[in-house]
């Protein structure tokens, strides 16, 4: 990896993880540079956060492409142009297709608000809360072709309190996200993550 490592962040929504990662980079806790923020949603507040920080942004709208493959091909071209070394999905609400997974396998991370393999999918906090688990948490993993199935890099457990509702639980899950996503990125940038089959060793 070069130092700083070139990152692209893909985000569809509010972008608090993006903000937090950018802050960790500013504070020199993570040896990386966010070269570009890409969104599938022109209204994503993540784009505004990026603009305020002077980070280049791109909106790639799925509706402008005939298929998911064509869409992903465009994303792959943007990432290649920007010489991106690590792709960080931060609230990116689309499944990543074959071309991108193959090009970036082991160099593309996602964060998921549950302890995988429990509660994959887009409603993880609600699903875990309604199931009645006593412990849930956060997972950072490399992206493969499945939905939230790739090799796990870091996890942090979050206890469910008796008086929690979904929002209060999600608030604590976010706090755990803000701890472990920058940490996982740092480990990767420093060459300390080693992918061995479906396991990630932290060396
Ligand atoms: C996070 O909870 C993350 O785990 C999930 O999407 C949410 C994004 O939040 N994949 P934000 O846009 O970073 O605030």
Active site residues: 112
Tell me how far CA of residue 16 lies from CA of 50, 128, 133, 134, 177, in angstroms. 11, 22, 25, 26, 10
Strand partners, 110: 89, 141
Give, using CA atoms, the residue closest to atom 7 of ligand 1.
Answer: 91
Q: Taking CB atoms and a 6 Å cutoff, what residues make up the pocket around ligand 1?
A: 11, 13-17, 90-91, 111-113, 177
User: Cβ–Cβ contacts within 10 Å for residue 165, how many?
Assistant: 9
How far apart CA 110 and CA 115 sit, in angstroms, is 13
Ligand 1 atom with the smallest distance to the CA of 14 is 12
Helix (H) or strand (E) holding 201: strand 199-202
198: phi then psi, degrees, rounded to nearest 5: -100, 10
> Tokens 């082991």 label which residue?
106
User: Which residue's CA is minimally distant from atom 6 of ligand 1?
Assistant: 91
Residues contacting residue 33 through CB under 8 Å, at least 6 positions apart: 4, 5, 6, 7, 25
- E-strand stretches of 135-177: 135-142, 152-159
pLDDT in tens, the chain (203 residues): 788 999 999 999 999 999 999 999 999 999 999 999 999 999 999 999 999 999 999 999 999 999 999 999 999 999 999 999 999 999 999 999 999 999 999 999 999 999 999 999 999 999 999 999 999 999 999 999 999 999 999 999 999 999 999 999 999 999 999 999 999 999 999 999 999 999 999 99
Query: If DSSP codes are grouped into helix, strand and coil, which group holds residue 189?
Result: helix
C-alpha 145/C-alpha 142 separation (Å) is: 10
33 phi, psi to nearest 5 deg? -135, 130
Please identify, by atom number, the ligand 1 atom nearest to the C-alpha of residue 170. 2
- pTM to 2 decimals? 0.97
Using most ligand atoms within 8 A of CB, pick from 13, 147, 178, 184 the residue to mutate for ligand 1: 13
């Amino acid at each position: 990896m070069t130092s700083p490592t070139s990152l692209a962040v893909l985000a569809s929504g509010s972008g608090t993880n993006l903000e937090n990662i950018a802050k960790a980079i500013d504070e020199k806790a993570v040896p990386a540079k966010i070269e570009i923020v890409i969104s599938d949603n022109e209204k994503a507040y993540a784009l505004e956060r990026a603009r305020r920080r002077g980070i280049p942004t791109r909106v790639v709208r799925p509706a402008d492409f005939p298929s998911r493959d064509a869409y992903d091909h465009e994303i792959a071209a943007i990432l290649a142009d920007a010489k991106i070394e690590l792709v960080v999905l931060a609230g990116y609400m689309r499944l990543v297709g074959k071309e991108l997974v193959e090009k970036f396998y082991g160099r593309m991370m996602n964060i998921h608000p549950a302890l995988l393999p429990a509660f994959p999918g887009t409603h993880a906090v609600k699903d875990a809360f309604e199931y009645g688990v006593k412990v849930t948490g956060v997972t950072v993993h490399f992206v493969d072709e499945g939905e939230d199935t790739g090799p796990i890099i870091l996890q942090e457990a979050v206890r469910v309190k008796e008086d929690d509702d979904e929002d209060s639980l999600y608030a604590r899950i976010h706090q755990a996200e803000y701890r472990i996503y920058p940490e996982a990125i740092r480990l990767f940038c420093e060459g300390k993550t080693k992918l061995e089959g479906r396991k990630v060793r932290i060396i």
